[in-house]
Structure 1
């Protein structure tokens, strides 16, 4: 959670009194640690700034009452122009979820754990000169175009607290056109007559499955094989707690492992069945150093045909695992030799991989290259959360940035997309303060970076929600995407290849004939917007805040 607190002195409450009443009981600290890991560790740590500020020493600089009130309702304090809340929101440019459902005992235990980190450590050094204060100076403008949407379905609540339904991806089966949507808490639903029907449950078949802690932990993604209607095959990505099963892609013994992400193949006995029944096998397993940036996307190329070399090849978007933010930049800075921060491409039907459970496509870029990972299709990505193709067959991937830029890249085999030494078209320092942007060096060409086709900075959002290409008027050929926390929907024309031309505009949302936005529709400040597309090209927008699904319509 983004605990936006400013370290400042206050005359009415002397600094040395802060934290004096916080419990130092060992049991309280341990209970607080569990709460922190489940609710806070995705955005915070006690070593350096991440998505939110470094929290080491915070209980000695800010009052307990203030911290509790902010955690309960951060937007309220920001809207009331509390100076501490306002200043940190201006710096980090995002909102944390509300945690008003925590009990007073849980708040006290959380503070006990935070209070155990007394000395604030440096957030990172400034190792370069010429810091760019505002990477992209001009802000996005509204387009004149309206996106008319209609309500489609309400996904069942999967929790009484926090996000109602953690719906993450909507996709279809190629031949039959069936539409499915998943919940990070483990459910896969089919949308039938605008009603979600449970098709499969991850937790039913996997005892080690976990969907917390973290904003992205759980049932991350799914993909149906192009021949699903015949062979009954589909694939899932989910997270599991660390156990005795050794990962196919493991971290060195000196690096702690927080959890594992697993790719599974499911084979339905009857592809036409309304509920899954069949067999499951594991394809691969990857270690991750934190709960962040796991596997949020697996997919097949929907435009490939049986005569294409790309037909039936599974693409896997693997994040950097939070390695850079948590002080392990070498995990992501590997030159294509490892799997973290990459897009992988495998053939699930083969067996020539090291574990014998899939094969390496012979046209993968590093098949015959020494000291490279043969599964890697592209690398240098921080958190590739959505992959799509345009009608010309070009592959696009959205990549969630750290604190500077959100981006969309045209993905080509073997290319390096910059992370963790670039964010957007800016230099970043993976060993220093990663919240600072610098100009590109004079010898930039020597680094071989491929830069984004679309980018925007954190004046206009804070986490891109990857999109799709519209194949219907009035947006035919345009790329429609959004921002996860803000709920803003954008439209871009990738044919305008110069990102400085600002080829992105905000799309107006119209519901029931009235212009609105997703903050009004959800009555929430943090939206958690996602987009999807069915096999007819219809675009969907859905929100974790309330579990509702909308579809774009022509008016």
Structure 2
């Protein structure tokens, strides 16, 4: 379901249901069969559930094919309304799968009975479970990284600096996903996926841009990252007034520049736009846009959620003014289309680099730098925009002081990873998850050790990684460049989106070809020890890291719309 993993059954769970005798399976009349209920349920499922679930194979959450043949309508109904209580009650099935997925679905108690009945009706139209993809392999690694992440003695004090207005009456109250700055000035901006870009005016959020008003086809559902995906001010914004954004629109809104065969479903389209204002210092934004490119996506997950410029590049440098774009695999691998994201002939699962002011792309709307690794290829099928590829979800891109490019890659069921990439790097997805083997044609829950002859593949592996004993999705961060917190100097700071845990690695330990040790750190708020989970009051913290022009760091949390600044740090 929406915003988290639904801890209910996939294929292979029937044994547990029957053995535990906790559910009676499909009862005659318990699942509505009328077309109106089914249509309502399908619409609700696509909006709230499809980011995590399908009926083919485990994704972010378990596949649901065949569920109603062995789970009672009453059990499913109760779980939808209050999953946490069922897990805490000791329900054998719920506890078993909480231990597997390690997170709790939010309550959908606000669903009307009509909508719950619709979900039941739609689930019941998918009675066939996949025959092999749900089979666990006894040879697979069940705890790929057995060493736990240790707690360090680093303590960082936070200060609440802004409260973003709710963008929904339902949880999460906001979907703030990025905090960044305007070049030259000290202005800080915060983006909500539901469509608004805020300027923090002395801590008070003011709407700078409203994507829903500017783009009539704008949508922010379905999908955990669907909506206003990212923004980046051109390095010379104060002179040229150029701003870049990504957002989502329904399938077929316009012809895609990057598409695939018609036999494969299009769930939505991501659009990269350039905006021009003649008043760079004006407020709110007033200007016009042009489309750079549009890309189709198989599902609502792993979209175009990161765009950024190299903050180290200066006028005259080869990298100056070039836009880096993180493009996820769109859920193609786990949906049965791994060929869309496993080579530089396709744009999905890649970090691309373009010149937004150029014209030598196929559509003529942007440029492809001559310094890109594939720009000189004679293969007409190669996507010359690609800088590095082999990612599931290159969620954040950052730079070290030395100019190294870091990519935080959200993994599948097992591994979260941090990469240092070089031009042309292949990071392995969908046949590698971190430093482990994965097979997209089989149960993608299973991962395996690297083979003895792995060097022949020439994959680039993470410089740091952790498994899902520790968290569920990496929250990409930054090397600390500021001056206010000497204890953070020499550290790359990041965390886990779901659990709200906070990590760091020492920059000196980050070397391609090995994995640096990760350590956890703690926080206080105004000097009082806290956790982000306690502060935001939600099981899913949805944390993100941001940075200002001076290199100082921020943390945001979606459920409560809070923006915190890291103001002091102590490490004995």
3-state SS of paired residue (1:32): helix
Residue 546 of structure 2 corresponds to which residue in structure 1? 532
Q: Label 1:436 to 1:230 Cα distance change in 2 as closer, same or farther (>3 A).
A: same
Q: CA deviation at 1:77?
A: 2.5
Q: Does 1:444 align with 2:454?
A: yes
Q: Could you tell me whether the CA contact under 8 Å between 1:18 and 1:63 is conserved in 2?
A: yes
Deviations 1:109-155 (A, max 9, x none): 11110011112223517798832121000111211000110101110
Residue 366 of structure 2 corresponds to which residue in structure 1? 358
Q: CA deviation at 1:17?
A: 5.0
3-state SS of paired residue (2:50): coil
Q: Does 1:5 align with 2:36?
A: no
Q: Does 1:203 align with 2:212?
A: yes
Structure 1 segment 9-24 matched on structure 2, within 5 A: 9=18, 15=24, 17-18=26-27, 20-24=29-33
Deviations 1:162-221 (A, max 9, x none): 210100100001211211011101101111100110001111121111100111110110
Q: Could you tell me whether the CA contact under 8 Å between 1:5 and 1:62 is conserved in 2?
A: no
Aligned residues: 554
Q: Could you tell me whether the CA contact under 8 Å between 2:26 and 2:68 is conserved in 1?
A: no
Residue 36 of structure 1 corresponds to which residue in structure 2? 45
Residue 423 of structure 1 corresponds to which residue in structure 2? 433
Q: Does 1:515 align with 2:503?
A: no
Q: Matches of 2:305 and 2:373 in 1, distance apart?
A: 23
Q: Could you tell me whether the CA contact under 8 Å between 2:20 and 2:92 is conserved in 1?
A: no
Equivalent of 2:86 in 65, 69, 77: 77
3-state SS of paired residue (1:207): coil
Q: Matches of 1:216 and 1:234 in 2, distance apart?
A: 20
The range that moved more, 167-176 or 123-132, is 123-132
Q: CA deviation at 1:94?
A: 2.6
Q: Could you tell me whether the CA contact under 8 Å between 2:392 and 2:429 is conserved in 1?
A: yes
Q: Does 1:490 align with 2:490?
A: no
Q: CA RMSD in A?
A: 1.7
Aligned structure 1 segments of 4 or more residues deviating by more than 4 angstroms: 10-14, 125-129, 498-502
Q: CA deviation at 1:98?
A: 2.6
Residue 247 of structure 2 corresponds to which residue in structure 1? 238
Deviations 1:424-468 (A, max 9, x none): 100000111111110111221111100000100000001111001
Residue 506 of structure 1 corresponds to which residue in structure 2? 520
Residue 56 of structure 1 corresponds to which residue in structure 2? 65
Q: CA deviation at 1:502?
A: 5.5
Residue 383 of structure 1 corresponds to which residue in structure 2? 393
3-state SS of paired residue (1:316): strand
Residue 413 of structure 2 corresponds to which residue in structure 1? 403
Residue 340 of structure 1 corresponds to which residue in structure 2? 348
3-state SS of paired residue (2:487): coil
3-state SS of paired residue (2:310): coil
Q: Matches of 1:12 and 1:501 in 2, distance apart?
A: 45
Q: CA deviation at 1:301?
A: 0.5
Q: Label 1:75 to 1:124 Cα distance change in 2 as closer, same or farther (>3 A).
A: same
Residue 465 of structure 1 corresponds to which residue in structure 2? 475
Q: Could you tell me whether the CA contact under 8 Å between 1:46 and 1:120 is conserved in 2?
A: yes
3-state SS of paired residue (2:157): strand
Residue 319 of structure 2 corresponds to which residue in structure 1? 310
Q: Label 1:514 to 1:127 Cα distance change in 2 as closer, same or farther (>3 A).
A: closer
Q: Matches of 1:12 and 1:497 in 2, distance apart?
A: 50
Structure 1 segment 249-264 matched on structure 2, within 5 A: 249-264=258-273
Q: CA deviation at 1:243?
A: 2.3
Residue 544 of structure 1 corresponds to which residue in structure 2? 558
Q: Matches of 1:303 and 1:500 in 2, distance apart?
A: 26
Residue 224 of structure 1 corresponds to which residue in structure 2? 233
Structure 1 segment 158-237 matched on structure 2, within 5 A: 158-237=167-246
Residue 275 of structure 1 corresponds to which residue in structure 2? 284
Equivalent of 1:132 in 126, 129, 141: 141
Q: Matches of 2:521 and 2:515 in 1, distance apart?
A: 17
Q: CA deviation at 1:397?
A: 0.7
3-state SS of paired residue (2:275): strand
Q: CA deviation at 1:66?
A: 2.1
Q: Could you tell me whether the CA contact under 8 Å between 1:18 and 1:62 is conserved in 2?
A: no
Q: Matches of 2:287 and 2:516 in 1, distance apart?
A: 49
Q: Give 5+ residue unaligned stretches, structure 2.
A: none
Q: Could you tell me whether the CA contact under 8 Å between 1:57 and 1:119 is conserved in 2?
A: yes
Q: Label 1:500 to 1:93 Cα distance change in 2 as closer, same or farther (>3 A).
A: farther
TM-score after normalising by structure 1: 0.97
Q: CA deviation at 1:91?
A: 1.4
Q: CA deviation at 1:103?
A: 1.2
Q: Matches of 1:12 and 1:441 in 2, distance apart?
A: 42
Q: Could you tell me whether the CA contact under 8 Å between 2:161 and 2:564 is conserved in 1?
A: yes
The range that moved more, 393-402 or 84-93, is 84-93
TM-score after normalising by structure 2: 0.94
The range that moved more, 509-518 or 114-123, is 114-123
Q: Matches of 2:537 and 2:301 in 1, distance apart?
A: 27
Deviations 1:346-374 (A, max 9, x none): 00111111111111111000001133211
Deviations 1:449-499 (A, max 9, x none): 000001000000011110011124111121111111111111111422479
Q: Does 1:481 align with 2:489?
A: no
Q: CA deviation at 1:322?
A: 0.1
